[in-house]
């Protein structure tokens, strides 16, 4: 399944761009954290994020397998997959969008460039138009994309049982960190 997702991502952007304009990662990182009233930490990491970035057009796509999110405690992970995001029913989350200020980024010059990305984010079977800020870092020809933003679980029909409502916030902080490599 992972190979199929990566293949679809590459195909999606590669059809309209020369190979030198396509960068990708298969091991990007997305983390999330729930700011809750409880002292218990609810956070998870996924280091198997696939993403394709067209440096010419600014098009960017992410595919995230939900079962690749891992928690410190196995019980939290089980509840996350079975009760909240329903990973068997909704196995992946995606983002398809575009860096709208790509013209202000000089990929041939080292630096950190603020960017705004707009597109469609799908989670738990719900797709919403979104806009997030982040940055593209260029160092010695290598490109890294980062972003931090929050989502509301109710916007994606993820419900939190009242029994654990004090342990999981309705707002979830998400961090994205992807180092891109040229398509080979």
pLDDT at 2: 53
pLDDT at 42: 85
What does pTM read for this prediction? 0.86
pLDDT at 13: 46
pLDDT at 159: 87
Tell me how many domains the chain contains. 1
pLDDT at 40: 72
Radius of gyration of the chain (CA): 17
The CATH number of the domain holding residue 44 is: 2.40.128.110
Distance of CA 148 to the CA centre of its chain: 10
* Domain housing 157: 2-182
Q: What are the pLDDT tens digits along the chain (184 aa)? A: 555 454 455 445 444 555 679 999 999 999 999 877 766 778 999 999 999 999 999 999 999 999 999 999 898 899 888 988 999 999 999 999 999 999 999 999 999 999 999 999 999 999 999 999 999 999 998 999 999 999 999 999 998 877 777 778 889 999 999 999 987 6
pLDDT at 15: 45
pLDDT at 17: 53
**113-118: long-range contacts at Cβ-Cβ below 8 A with a sequence spacing of 24 or more?**
113/137, 113/138, 115/145, 117/60, 117/147
171-182/142-152 β-pairing: antiparallel
CA 138-140-146 angle, to 5 degrees, is 25
């Amino acid at each position: 399944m992972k190979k199929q997702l990566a293949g679809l991502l590459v195909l999606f952007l590669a059809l309209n761009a020369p190979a030198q304009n396509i960068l990708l990662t298969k091991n990007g990182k997305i983390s999330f954290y729930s700011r809750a009233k409880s002292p218990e930490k609810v956070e998870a990491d996924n280091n198997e994020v696939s993403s394709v970035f067209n440096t010419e057009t600014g098009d960017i796509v992410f595919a995230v397998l939900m079962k690749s999110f891992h928690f410190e405690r196995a019980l939290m992970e089980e509840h996350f997959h079975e009760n909240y995001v329903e990973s068997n029913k909704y196995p992946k989350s995606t983002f398809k969008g575009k860096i709208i200020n790509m013209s202000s980024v000089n990929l041939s010059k080292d630096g950190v460039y603020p960017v705004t990305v707009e597109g469609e984010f799908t989670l738990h079977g719900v797709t919403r138009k979104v806009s997030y800020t982040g940055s593209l870092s260029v160092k010695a020809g290598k490109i890294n994309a980062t972003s931090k933003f929050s989502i509301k679980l109710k916007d994606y029909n993820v419900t939190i049982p009242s029994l654990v409502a004090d342990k999981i916030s309705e707002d979830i902080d998400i961090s994205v960190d992807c180092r891109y490599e040229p398509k080979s």
